[in-house]
Structure 1
Amino acid sequence: MLRNIKAMSVASLALTLAACDMAPKYARPEMPVPQASPQGPAYAAAADGGAAIVPADTAWRDFFTDPRLVRVIETSLANNRDLRIAVANVEQARAQYKVQRADLLPTVGATGTATYSEQPLVQFGQSQRLNTDVYQAQVGISAWEIDLFGRVRNLTKAAQEQYFASVENRNAAQTALVAEVATAWVNMAADQELLSIARTLATAFKETLDLNKARFDKGIASELEVREAQTSYDQARAAIASATTLVAQDQNALNLLAGTTLGSEDLPSALPEGHVTLDNLPAELPSTLLLRRPDIASAEHQLIAANANIGAARAAFFPQLSLTAALGTVSLGLSGLFKSGSDTWSVAPSATLPIFDFGRNKGNLRYAKATYDAMLATYEKSVQTGFREVADALARRGTMTDQVEAQTSQRDAARKAYDLTQARFRAGVDGFLPTLVSQRTLSSAEQSLVTTRLARLTNMIELYRAMGGGLK
Structure 2
Amino acid sequence: MEAKFKVGEEKENAISQARANLHELNVTNNDLQRQIKETEFSLCTLLGTTYRHIQRSSIEQQVFPDYTKVGLPIRLLSRRPDVVQAEMNLASAYYTTNQARAAFYPSLTLSGSLGWTNALGQMVSNPGNWILSAVASLTQPIFNKGKLVSNLRVSKDEEQIALLTFKQTILEAGEEVNNNLYAADVAKSNLENRISQCNELNNAVQMSETLYKNGEATYLDLLTARQSLLNAQLSLVSDRFTYCQSIINLYNALGGGAE
- TM-score > 0.5, shorter chain as reference: yes
Structure-to-structure mapping, 1:146-185, within 5 angstroms:
none
Aligned to 1:395: 182
1:469 aligns to 2:250 (yes or no)? no
Tell me, in whole angstroms, the C-alpha distance in 2 between the residues paired with 1:304 and 1:218. Answer: 87
2:202 to 395, 415, 434: 415
Tell me, in whole angstroms, the C-alpha distance in 2 between the residues paired with 1:230 and 1:381. Answer: 61
Higher helix share: 2
Tell me, in whole angstroms, the C-alpha distance in 2 between the residues paired with 1:405 and 1:468. Answer: 28
Aligned to 2:46: 257
Tell me, in whole angstroms, the C-alpha distance in 2 between the residues paired with 1:233 and 1:396. Answer: 36
Structure-to-structure mapping, 1:21-420, within 5 angstroms:
211=1, 213-261=2-50, 264=53, 267-273=55-61, 275=63, 277-280=64-67, 283-285=70-72, 289-298=76-85, 386-420=173-207
In the TM superposition, what is the alpha-carbon distance from 1:471 to its structure 2 partner?
A: 8.2
AA at the equivalent of 2:217: D
In the TM superposition, what is the alpha-carbon distance from 1:220 to its structure 2 partner?
A: 2.3
1:435 aligns to 2:222 (yes or no)? yes
User: Secondary structure of the residue that 1:389 maps to in structure 2?
Assistant: helix
Q: Is the 8 A contact 1:397 1:460 kept in 2?
A: yes
Q: Is the 8 A contact 2:44 2:52 kept in 1?
A: no
Please give the per-residue CA displacement for 1:332-366, whole angstroms capped at 9, x wherever unaligned: xxxxxxxxxxxxxxxxxxxxxxxxxxxxxxxxxxx
In the TM superposition, what is the alpha-carbon distance from 1:438 to its structure 2 partner?
A: 0.5
Tell me, in whole angstroms, the C-alpha distance in 1 between the residues paired with 2:51 and 2:168. Answer: 38
In the TM superposition, what is the alpha-carbon distance from 1:409 to its structure 2 partner?
A: 1.4
Tell me, in whole angstroms, the C-alpha distance in 2 between the residues paired with 1:234 and 1:416. Answer: 25
In the TM superposition, what is the alpha-carbon distance from 1:281 to its structure 2 partner?
A: 7.0
Q: Is the 8 A contact 1:415 1:442 kept in 2?
A: yes
Tell me, in whole angstroms, the C-alpha distance in 2 between the residues paired with 1:461 and 1:260. Answer: 24
Tell me, in whole angstroms, the C-alpha distance in 2 between the residues paired with 1:283 and 1:262. Answer: 41
Q: Is the 8 A contact 2:212 2:219 kept in 1?
A: yes
In the TM superposition, what is the alpha-carbon distance from 1:235 to its structure 2 partner?
A: 1.2
AA at the equivalent of 1:223: E
Please give the per-residue CA displacement for 1:378-415, whole angstroms capped at 9, x wherever unaligned: 98986565334312211123334433322111111111
Aligned to 2:237: 450
AA at the equivalent of 1:255: C
Q: Is the 8 A contact 1:404 1:452 kept in 2?
A: yes
Tell me, in whole angstroms, the C-alpha distance in 1 between the residues paired with 2:20 and 2:189. Answer: 34
Please give the per-residue CA displacement for 1:22-45, whole angstroms capped at 9, x wherever unaligned: xxxxxxxxxxxxxxxxxxxxxxxx
Give the paired residue count: 190
AA at the equivalent of 2:218: G
AA at the equivalent of 1:434: D
AA at the equivalent of 1:270: S
Q: Is the 8 A contact 1:417 1:438 kept in 2?
A: yes
Tell me, in whole angstroms, the C-alpha distance in 1 between the residues paired with 2:231 and 2:183. Answer: 22
User: Secondary structure of the residue that 1:421 maps to in structure 2?
Assistant: helix
User: Looking at both structures, which has the greater relative contact order when contacts are Cα pairs under 8 Å and sequence separation is at least 6?
Assistant: 1
Higher strand share: 1
AA at the equivalent of 1:432: Y
Please report the RMSD computed on the Cα atoms of aligned residues, expressed in angstroms.
3.5
User: Secondary structure of the residue that 1:412 maps to in structure 2?
Assistant: helix
Tell me, in whole angstroms, the C-alpha distance in 2 between the residues paired with 1:379 and 1:257. Answer: 35
Tell me, in whole angstroms, the C-alpha distance in 2 between the residues paired with 1:239 and 1:380. Answer: 50
Tell me, in whole angstroms, the C-alpha distance in 2 between the residues paired with 1:251 and 1:257. Answer: 10
Tell me, in whole angstroms, the C-alpha distance in 2 between the residues paired with 1:237 and 1:270. Answer: 21
In the TM superposition, what is the alpha-carbon distance from 1:269 to its structure 2 partner?
A: 4.7
User: Secondary structure of the residue that 1:220 maps to in structure 2?
Assistant: coil
* TM-score (normalised: structure 2): 0.60
Q: Is the 8 A contact 2:68 2:185 kept in 1?
A: no
Tell me, in whole angstroms, the C-alpha distance in 2 between the residues paired with 1:288 and 1:218. Answer: 73
Aligned to 1:147: none
In structure 1, list runs of 5 or more residues that go unmatched: 1-210, 306-374
AA at the equivalent of 1:248: K
Please give the per-residue CA displacement for 1:74-97, whole angstroms capped at 9, x wherever unaligned: xxxxxxxxxxxxxxxxxxxxxxxx
Q: Is the 8 A contact 2:40 2:52 kept in 1?
A: no
Tell me, in whole angstroms, the C-alpha distance in 2 between the residues paired with 1:263 and 1:382. Answer: 43
Percent identical among aligned pairs is 25
Aligned to 1:329: none
Please give the per-residue CA displacement for 1:38-59, whole angstroms capped at 9, x wherever unaligned: xxxxxxxxxxxxxxxxxxxxxx
User: Secondary structure of the residue that 2:19 maps to in structure 1?
Assistant: helix
